[in-house]
């Protein structure tokens, strides 16, 4: 009786390889989603701050500025004041930029704005919080 040699992978080897590959995928995918979630969260926070600032400008009948400050911070102040009424911190592992050269957006007492946007990014994924001239704010 002659034994036939069959070269193939055993069931145990296949299950082991599939287990290792799925473990690697599970370790990598949450990190990607966590950065995306963090950027989405920060974009929503900036969106809320912009709405709040617009509301304050309307109710107090004054021009208000949202300024991009050093160290990933946004400051809210009256256009006539030099001190900030509120400072918002953005996560250190993210980058934030303003599309305006003076790094600030302004809301008027009529609810209109100087158009521009803030861009939040981690280098691969980014969100843009856009302020239109009519005061409309949206996230892209």
Instruction: Name the residue ranges covered by the structural domains of the chain.
Output: 34-139
Identify the pLDDT of residue 129. 97
pTM: predicted TM-score of the whole model, two decimal places = 0.76
| CATH level 3 topology of 34-139 | minor pseudopilin epsh fold (3.55.40)
Q: Give me the percent of the chain exceeding a pLDDT of 90.
A: 69
H-type helices in 1-140, by residue range? Answer: 11-60
């Amino acid at each position: 009786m002659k034994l036939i040699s069959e070269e193939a992978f055993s069931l145990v080897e296949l299950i082991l390889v599939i287990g290792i590959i799925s473990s690697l995928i599970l370790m990598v995918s949450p990190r990607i989603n966590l950065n995306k979630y963090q950027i989405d969260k920060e974009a929503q926070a900036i969106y809320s701050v912009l709405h709040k600032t617009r509301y304050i400008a309307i109710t107090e009948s004054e021009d208000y500025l949202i300024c991009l400050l050093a160290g990933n911070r946004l400051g809210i102040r009256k256009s006539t004041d030099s001190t900030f009424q509120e400072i918002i911190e953005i996560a250190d592992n993210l980058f934030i930029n303003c599309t305006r050269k003076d790094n600030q957006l302004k809301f008027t007492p009529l609810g209109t704005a100087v158009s521009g946007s803030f861009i939040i990014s981690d280098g691969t994924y980014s969100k843009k919080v856009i302020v239109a001239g009519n005061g409309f704010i949206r996230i892209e």
